[in-house]
Structure 1
Amino acid sequence: MDDQSVRRRVLILYGSETGQSEAISQQIHDQCDHHLEVLTDNFNISVERLCLDTIGDQYSLETEQTVVFVVSTTGEGEPPQNALKFYRKYRKRALPKSLLSHLRYCLLALGDTNYERFANFGKDLDKRLQELSAKKFYDTGFGDDAVGLELGVEPWIENLFTAVLNHFNAYSSLNVPIVDVKLLTPVEREMSAKDNCLLMQTTDERLSQLDQLNLPLIPSKFKSFQLKLHETLPEEYVDKCLPKEFYFQTLPVMDSKVFDATLVELRQLSTDSVADNDETDSRCDAKTIIEATMRIESEGEGGCSVGHEAGDSFGVIVGNYDEEVNQVLHSLDLSGKRDFYCEVLTPEVFPHLPKICKVYDLIKYYLELRSVPKKSCLRHLADFCDNPSQKRRLLELSSREGGEDYNRVVRNQFAGILDILQVFDSCRPPLDVLVANSPCFAPRYYSVCNAPDPLNRNQFKIAFSVTTFEETLLRKDTQLFGVFTGTLFRLLRHEVSAQGDSVDQCLAKLSLESNMKSFKAFKRKNPYFKLPSNVSIPIVMVGAGTGVAPFVGFLGQRQLVSKRSTVPAGECWLFYGCRHSRRDYIYERELKQYQSDKVLTQLYVCFSRESVDEKSPKYVQNLIQNHSTALYRLIDVRKAIVYVCGDLKGMATDVFNALVSVVETAGKQSRENAVKYVRELQSEKRYLQDIWT
C-alpha cells in the first residue's frame, strides 16, 4: 500500500430496484472524483462504478482490493433484481472461507423500517462477506426511507473519502467545497408575510452570521443534462422521435404494459354523520374512505390482455395537478411556451424521460413535484435566485452547517420542489436544471379489493383514504390533497354548487357518465401476496384501515374457488382494526356476509378510539395476543399462511412482535427461538406483507 506507483482502484458496486441505490452510488462516485481533483497528490487512487450484475464481465471480487457496496432491499427482504446474479455466486456454501481475505470493503444498506426485514439484503451481504474473510475499512451505514434516506446516507458519505484515504495510508488535509457568503445579506428579522414562512426561519441565529458554508457537490450528470425547445416540431422529427403512444420507462415492478383505465364508479365506504347521542365517535380524526371502480380500456396497440386476481395491485400514473403544472411554468417564465416541444439532447443521462414531448407534459407526467429536494438540489437552485436573502437561505439549507434546519423545515415538513419555488419566488431556474433535480413522477400503488368478476373481467376496484396535508408553507387548494386520491375527491365536488355538502351528497349529485376520467395505469408484480392454490390451506389475515381491502378480494375469490372445489376449505381468520365502529369500519356488511356464508371462519375487530377500558383491545396486535393458543395451533399444526396489510406506520413491526409473543407464550419457546420461528415463516413464504406508508 505504500508504493506510490501502485494503482489503487476503488470500485463502487450498486444493486438497485427503484434507482435509489444507483443514484446514491453516482453521488459517491462524484464526491470521490471531486476530492481527488483537489488533492495535490491523488496517490494513484482511481474510482470506478459498476452494477452488481456485471460480475464476470467487468469485475470479480476475487481480483478486487477495495470495494464500496451500495444496495437496497426489495420484496420480502430479497436482493434487487440486478443483484441476484452476484448474490447467487457468493452465497454458495461450498466457497472456501478465505476466498475474499484480500478484500477490504464498506457497505451502505438502504431500506424502510416500515417493513420488518429492514435493509435485509444489505445485512445478509455484510454477513456473507465477513464469512468469506473480507474485512471492513469503514463501518456499515444504513439509509431509512421511512424517516428520509438523507438522514443516514449523507453523514456516511461525508466521512467515506476520509476513510478511503486512511485505508490507503494516504490521508492529507482536504479542500472542501465552500462558498463565501459575506456579500449576501442575512435573512432579516422583519420580513414580509411570505418570508415569515417556516422555510425562511432558522432556530440557530449563528447560521445567518457565518461567513463560509460547506456545500454539497452538484452531481456531474446534472450539469451534463441538456434540453432544447422547439416552437414547432421539425418535420423529420415526427416519424423518428415523436412517441406514438404514452411513454413511461419500464420499471422493475411492472407486470404489464401501461394501459388506459377509466373511472366508472365511486362509492363512499366511510360515514360522515352519526347519531347525535353517539359520544364514542370523534369527528376530528375520522378519515374519508372511498372505493373506486376502474375499467381497463386498452394496453398499447395490441389491445388489452391484463387480468387480475385477489392480492394484485395496480400502479396509477395520474400526473401532477394541472394547477401545479401551471405554477411551475409561471415560476420558470414558461407560461407562453407550454405547448412547445421539448427535445432531450442527452437521453442517456435520464432514460425515464421521453425523447420528445410537450413542455407541459414533461412537467405533468415525468417530474415528481412533491418530492423532498436533496441538499444538492437546493444548492443548485440557489444559483438562480435574484434575491440575495433568498439565495443565502437556500445555501444555508443545503450546507453542512444548516443540517438541523434542513431536517426541521424541509425533511420533516415534506417540503417539495413546488414548495421551494413558491417560497423562493426569485428563483427561476432553467427547465433543464429543474428536470435534472426532480425525480421521475412516482406511480401511486393501490391493492385490488375485489375478486375477478367473470362478467366484468376488465374491471377492478381499489379503496383509499383521501390524503390531506397540513396548510403550512404556502400550500393551498390542490397542494392540500394527495395527487391521485385528491383528484378523485375533487370529482365529487366538481358538480356541486352548494357549499358544505357532505361526500355522500357529492356522490349523489355526481354523474360519472358525463364526467368520465381516464388514467394511465399498469399491473404491479406481486408474486407472493396471493391465496394458496390449495383451498384447504388455512389463512390468517391481519389488516388495519384500508388494509382490509385486499382481504375482501381474498374472501370473494376464496368463495368462488370453494364452490368448485371437491375438498373442504381451510379455516379463514381476519384480524381487523380501525378507528371508529360507525365511521370507518369499511366493508362491514360484506365481512359479516362472508362470515354468515362460512367463508370467513373467525372475524376479530377492534376500534382504537373506542376502547371501553385498558384491557379492551385497541389495535390488531392486541387482538392477535388475545387469541394466542388457537392462532399458534392454526399456524404450527395446520400450517396456515399469515398475510399482513395496512397503512399504519409501525404496523408491520407491531404485528411481527405480536406474532413472536404468540410463539413465545403458546409455543413455550424462548424469545430468541420465537423470532427465529417467525423468520422461518417469512422464508417459507408463510408470512407475507403488503405494507405502505
Structure 2
Amino acid sequence: MVFDSKFRNTLENIIHNTPHDPYTLPVSKEAFLKIHFQNSDSTSNLEDGIWPVLPFAESDICQVHIIKWRRLSAVEANCKPVYEVDFDITDSSINFKPGDTIGILPTNTDTEVDFIISHLGLNAVKNMNYSLSIENGKKGKIPQHIPASSTIQHVLKHCVDLRGLFKKMFLLHLSRFTEQELERRILEYLCSKEGSNDYTIYILEKRLSLCDIFHLFPSCKPPVQILFEHLPRLLPRPYSIANSPQVNPNIVRICFSVMETGVERKGLTTGWLEDIISNDMNITMKTLSLDDTPNESPRVPIYLRKNVNNFVLPDHDKPIILIGPGTGVSPFIGFLQERESFKNEQILGSAWLFFGCRNAELDYIYKEELERFLQNGVLSKLCTAFSRSNNCEFKYVQDAIYAHGEEVVKLLRVGAYVYLAGDVKNIATQVKDVLIQCIAKHNNCSKDEAKEYLTNLEKNKRYLVDIWN
C-alpha cells in the first residue's frame, strides 16, 4: 500500500523536531540465520523441516469449493459488504455441529509478495531451493513456521504474515539495513523509548504492513533471512459455522464481512473470498452469454476447529438467550436450524435472540430467516437494535437487554443458557455489565452478588462467549 507524501512528511517533521541525541533503543541480539541457495530445479523439499500444527485442529485440512454464495447486506457505498458462502465438504473428514468453527488457511497476495521480492532484488533466486542454518558462533534457532528447505516465493506466499503488527525489535533490525540516513533515523526513533507514543500512532494504529514500510523507506533493503527471523506465522482465520448438519451435512456455511485493514486494504481472507465470489460472478456472466465451458472456483483450504468453549446447544427443552450483533448472529442461525429440525419431535425451551446492526435497511442480515423462526415458534422473542436508524426503539443490544431485564432474569432463574457471539472488540464487556445490572435490579441484590451470580453461570457453562476481532 503506497502512502501519500503527506504521511512521509509527517514522519520527517517528527524527526526534525526531535533532539538529535542518541535514542534509547531496544537491546537486540545479532541476526543469526544463514541462507544458502542450491542450483536445483527440484521442489521436492519444499515441505521439509518441522511444520507447526494447526491451532485447535479437529480434522485434516480439506480443499473445498464455494458452491453457492449471496450478499446479505445492501449494495451501497456506505454499507460494509457482508456475504454468505457455502463450502462443499462432501467426502471430507469434517463432521460438524451448530456452534463449531472452521479455520481457513489464507495466502498472501501475489501483489504483496511480488513487490517484496522485487524491492529486495530477489527475482533471480525466488524459486531456487534454499537451505537455512545458524551462523557460526551465534545463538538462535529456525522459527518453527519457516521450513529449513524451501523457496523464498513459497515462504512469503504461505508461511509468514506480511501484515502482522510490527514489533520494535523488527524495526530496529530493519533500520540497520536502511542506507538513507533520514529514513534510518525515523525507523530508529519509532522503535526507541522516546518514540513510543508515535510508534503507537504511526505503526500500530495505522496497521502498517511490511510493504508499507518498504514504500515509505525505499532504501530499507534487509537480507531475506531477517524477514524469516522476525515475521510472525501466517495463521488460519476462524469463522463460525452458520448452518446445521440436520439440514445438509455436506455443506458448511459461513458469514463474513469484508474488513478494511490499514489504508485502502481489505482483510487478507475476507478480501480473497470476495475475489473468488467476484470472479465466480464474472465467470457465470461469461458462461451465460458466450461460453458453455464449465468453470471451477479455486479451492479453499479449511479444517474443523475444536469447540474448546463448549459453544453448543444444551438439551432442546432448556431455554436459551442468544446475543449476536452483526455477523455474530451467524452461529445462531445454525442453532435455530437445529431446533427447527427437532420442533415436531421434542419440546423446545424458550429462545430469545438479541440482534443489532447499524441500519435496518442496509445490514439487517438474515432478517427473513429470523422472522420465519419467530413465526414457526423456533424463536420465542426477537429483539432488534439499530444504531444508525431513526425511529427505532433501541440503538444497541445492551439497551434491548436492559429494557427486557426482568424477563431475561426470569429465564436465568429457570435454567436458561446465555450465548454471546460477535466481532466487536468491546461487546463482551458491555453485555456482561448490562447483565450484571439486570441481575442486581431484578434479583434485588448487590452488584457484587450479581457478579458472583454471573460468575457461577460461567463456571457451569451457562454463559458462553465466542468473540473475535
Q: Separation in 2 of the partners of 1:323 and 1:673?
A: 56
- Give the corresponding residue for 1:16: none
Partner of 1:140: none
Change (3 A) 1:252 1:266: closer
1:465 aligns with 2:257: yes
Q: Which runs of 4+ in 1 moved over 6 A?
A: 508-512
**CA–CA distance in structure 2, aligned partners of residues 448 and 511 of structure 1:** 33
Match of 1:440 in 2: 233
Contact 1:260-1:297 at 8 Å conserved across structures = no
**2:301 is the counterpart of 1:520:** yes
Offset from partner CA, 1:48-97 (integer Å, 9 cap, x none)? xxxxxxxxxxxxxxxxxxxxxxxxxxxxxxxxxxxxxxxxxxxxxxxxxx
CA distance in 2, matches of 1:448, 1:315: 10
2: CA distance, partners of 1:309 / 1:198 = 53
Instruction: Report whether the alignment pairs 1:255 with 2:50.
Output: no
1:667 aligns with 2:455: no
The answer to whether 1:330 aligns with 2:118 is yes
* Deviation larger for 651-660 or 445-454: 445-454
Residue 287 (structure 1) aligns with: 80
Mapped partners of 1:219, 1:580: distance in 2 = 52
Structure 1 residue 199 displacement after superposition: 6.8
CA distance in 2, matches of 1:201, 1:564: 70
Unaligned 5+ runs, structure 1: 1-191, 274-282, 299-303, 498-503
The answer to whether 1:681 aligns with 2:457 is yes
Aligned equivalents of 1:591 and 1:229: distance in 2? 58
Per the alignment, residue 226 of structure 1 pairs with 34
Secondary structure (helix, strand or coil) at the match of 1:260 reads strand
Match in the other structure for 1:487:
272
Q: How does 1:616-635 map to 2 (within 5 A)?
A: 616-635=393-412
> Which secondary structure state, in structure 1, belongs to the residue aligned with residue 190 of structure 2?
helix
Assess, with a 3 A threshold, how the Cα gap between structure 1 residues 496 and 520 changes in structure 2: closer, same or farther.
closer
Aligned residue for 2:299, secondary structure, equals strand
Whole-angstrom distance in 1 between the partners of 2:410 and 2:285: 48
For the residue of structure 2 that corresponds to 1:517, the secondary structure is coil
Question: Which runs of 5 or more residues in structure 2 are unaligned?
Answer: 135-139
Residue 407 of structure 2 aligns to which amino acid in structure 1?
A
Tell me the distance in 2 between the aligned counterparts of 1:675 and 1:513.
59
- Give the aligned partner of residue 549 of structure 1: 330
SS at match of 2:163: coil
One-letter amino acid of the structure 2 residue matched with residue 308 of structure 1? F
**Is structure 2 residue 370 aligned with structure 1 residue 591?**
yes
Deviation string, structure 1 residues 360-389 (Cα, Å, up to 9, x no partner): 110011111111111110100111112111
Report 1:54-453 matches (<5 A): 194=5, 196-197=7-8, 200-203=11-14, 205-207=16-18, 209-219=19-29, 223-232=31-40, 238=44, 241-243=45-47, 249-272=52-75, 284=78, 286-296=79-89, 304-345=92-133, 348-453=141-246
1:336 aligned counterpart, secondary structure:
coil
Distance in 1, matches of 2:250 and 2:151, equals: 31
* Cα distance change, pair 336–233 in 1 and its aligned pair in 2 (3 A): closer
**1:656 alignment partner in structure 2:** 432
Give the aligned residue type for 1:465. Answer: S
Q: How many percent of aligned residue pairs carry the same amino acid?
A: 28
Structure 1 residues 437 and 688, CA gap change in structure 2 (3 angstroms): same
* Closer/same/farther in 2, CA of residues 683 and 199 from structure 1, 3 Å limit: farther
* SS across alignment from 1:256: coil
Quote the Cα distance in structure 1 between the aligned partners of 2:13 and 2:443. 54
Asked if 1:531 is matched to 2:312, the reply is yes
Answer yes or no: is the 8 Å Cα contact 2:60–2:93 preserved in 1: no
CA distance in 2, matches of 1:599, 1:405: 52
Give the drift of 1:457: 2.5
Deviation digits for residues 624-666 of structure 1, max 9, x if unmatched? 1111111101111x11110001112211111101101110111
Cα distance change, pair 606–541 in 1 and its aligned pair in 2 (3 A): same
Distance 1:677 1:198 in 2: 55
Q: Tell me how far apart the structure 2 counterparts of residues 260 and 423 of structure 1 sit (CA, whole Å).
A: 37
Change in Cα spacing, 1:196 to 1:415, as seen in structure 2 (3 Å) is closer
Q: Determine the C-alpha separation between the residues in 2 that align with 1:438 and 1:297.
A: 36
The separation in 1 between residues aligned to 2:4 and 2:299, in whole angstroms, is 40
Quote how far apart the aligned CAs of 1:407 are.
1.2
Residue aligning to 1:608: 387
Decide whether aligned partners of structure 1 residues 461 and 608 sit closer, same or farther in structure 2, where only a CA change above 3 A counts. Answer: same
SS at structure 1 position matched to 2:118: helix
Contact 2:104 2:301 in 1 (8 A): yes
Shift of 1:516: 0.8
Equivalent residues of 1:529, 1:689 under 8 A apart: no
Residue pair 2:58, 2:304 contacting (<8 A) in 1 also: yes
- What is the one-letter code of the residue matched to 1:232? S
Report how far residue 252 of structure 1 moved: 4.3
- State the TM-score, normalized to the length of structure 1: 0.62
Work out the number of aligned pairs and report it. Answer: 460
Q: Distance in 2 between matches of 1:384 and 1:540?
A: 56
Give the Cα separation in 1 of the matches to 2:360 and 2:6. Answer: 44
Q: Distance in 2 between matches of 1:589 and 1:384?
A: 57
Aligned residues of 2:206 and 2:262 also touching (Cα < 8 A): no
SS at match of 2:65: strand
Distance 1:428 1:203, change over 3 A: closer
Distance 1:334 1:670 in 2: 66
State how far apart, in whole Å, the 2-side matches of 1:270 and 1:288 are: 6
> Residues 490 and 242 (structure 1 numbering): CA distance in 2 closer, same or farther, change over 3 Å?
closer
Cα distance in 1, alignment partners of residues 294 and 415 from structure 2: 48
| 1:249–1:353 Cα contact (<8 Å) kept | no
**AA matched with 1:651:** I
The SS at the match of 2:124 is: helix
1:422-464 deviation line (CA, Å, top 9, x unaligned): 211111111110111100002111100011156x533201101
Counterpart among 322, 337, 340 of residue 559 in structure 1? 340
**Distance in 1 between the 2:190 and 2:292 partners?**
47
Q: Deviation string for 1:586-612 (max 9, x for gaps)?
A: 111111111112111111111111142
CA distance in 2, matches of 1:193, 1:586: 36
Cα contact 1:313–1:523 (8 A) shared by 2: yes
What letter is aligned with 1:597? N
